């Protein structure tokens, strides 16, 4: 049962019910990389403030492609990506931080030959007008929150362990404090203890009011901690609902579609 799988401290029940602003909406998006091959077909989903939208699907379903389309690395062929109601489809990825949108990709976003401190401060230092007044306080808060990085500030990011690099990715997001964070496969390759920590950070981000779009191969974890779950199958959303919905018929369908037991 999905309900029984809820982990204490991470369940969506920790966040107040009721309406929350829809910050990000993907509306009937069709997109792909090459010519007429559509990797995403008519995909719609939304992310609300302080809520976790979970996206599950088999390898190759198009989950990462959807995140890249939201970020502007790909422009939809049809449909649109809306940020607080305004069309941001194909808007250059480097401008998304200005809106309050951040992306923790599956692959590293760190600069391996720069220090931990430089990686942490980089995005904010380049935007003095937006972040100049909060930079030092954020930096101090971030190091309190991610103490493992404190002793590593002058180390090169590329020399950190996998778990420490993931901490640095989340610490970067904490520095930016976006309104919405897209998080792609955060637990891949991590030891279970570190993965558990990653999911705690995600829960804490949501409780602070951040909207989250979460993709992870740990389907049970995604379903249990999301407020709304979307199933992506061969580029199409084939089901969506609350975690409770997944305890009934939908649960069986998803099991069947994904070919797994959870
Ligand atoms: N850069 C690319 N160029 C062309 N095709 C790609 C590229 N990246 C991914 N694809 C294809 O898009 C499909 C969806 O991939 P992806 O979004 O990475 O899936 P998921 O994240 O769900 O595993 C796959 O068939 C993959 O081969
Ligand atoms: Mg992927």
- The per-residue pLDDT for range 24-55, each reduced to its tens digit, is 999 999 999 988 899 999 999 999 999 999 99
Q: Give 63 Cα–ligand 1 centroid separation in angstroms.
A: 8
Residue 177 has pLDDT above 70, yes or no: yes
110: buried, middle or exposed (CB in 10 Å: 19+, 13-18, 0-12)? buried
Six token digits for residue 253: 């369908």
Average pLDDT of the residues in 13-28? 80
Q: pLDDT value at position 142?
A: 96
> Residue 262: CB partners within 8 Å, gap ≥ 6?
2, 5, 219, 220, 223, 255
Least confident interval from 11-15, 62-66, 219-223: 11-15
Exposure string (b/e) for 179-200, b if CB count within 10 Å is 16 or more? bbbbbbbbbeebeeebbebbbe
Residue 257 has pLDDT above 70, yes or no: no
Task: Decide whether any atom of ligand 1 lies within 6 Å of the 211 Cβ.
Answer: no
Task: Decide whether any atom of ligand 1 lies within 6 Å of the 235 Cβ.
Answer: no
Residue 19 has pLDDT above 90, yes or no: no
Q: Tell me which of 67 and 3 has the higher pLDDT.
A: 67
Task: Decide whether any atom of ligand 1 lies within 6 Å of the 35 Cβ.
Answer: no
Q: Give 38 Cα–ligand 1 centroid separation in angstroms.
A: 10
Q: pLDDT value at position 126?
A: 83
CA angle 110, 193, 116 (to 5 degrees): 25
Q: What is the pLDDT of residues 86-134, one digit of tens each?
A: 999 989 998 999 999 999 999 999 999 999 999 999 988 888 888 888 8
| Phi, psi (degrees; rounded to nearest 5) at 76 | -60, 145
């Amino acid at each position: 049962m999905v309900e029984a799988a809820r982990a204490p401290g991470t369940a969506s029940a920790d966040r107040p019910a009721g309406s929350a602003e829809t910050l990000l909406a993907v509306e009937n998006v069709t997109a792909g990389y090459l010519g007429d091959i559509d990797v995403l077909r008519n995909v719609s989903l939304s992310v609300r403030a302080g809520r976790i939208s979970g996206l599950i699907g088999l390898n190759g379903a198009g989950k990462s492609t959807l995140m890249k389309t939201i970020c502007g690395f790909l422009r939809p062929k049809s449909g649109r990506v809306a940020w607080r109601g305004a069309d941001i489809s194909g808007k250059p990825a480097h401008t998304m931080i200005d809106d309050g949108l951040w992306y923790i990709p599956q692959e590293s976003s760190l600069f391996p030959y720069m220090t931990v401190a430089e990686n942490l401060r980089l995005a904010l230092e380049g935007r003095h007008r937006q972040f100049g007044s909060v930079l030092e306080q954020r930096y101090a808060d971030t190091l309190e929150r991610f103490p493992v990085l404190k002793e590593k500030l002058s180390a090169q990011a590329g020399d950190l362990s996998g778990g420490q690099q993931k901490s640095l990715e989340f610490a970067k997001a904490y520095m930016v404090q976006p309104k919405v964070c897209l998080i792609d496969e955060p637990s891949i390759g991590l030891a279970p203890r570190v993965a558990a920590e990653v999911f705690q950070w995600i829960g804490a981000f949501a409780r602070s009011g951040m909207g989250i779009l979460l993709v992870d191969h740990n389907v049970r974890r995604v379903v249990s901690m999301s407020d709304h779950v979307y199933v992506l199958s061969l580029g199409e959303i084939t089901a969506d609902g609350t975690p409770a919905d997944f305890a009934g018929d939908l649960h069986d369908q998803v099991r069947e579609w994904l070919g797994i037991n959870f």
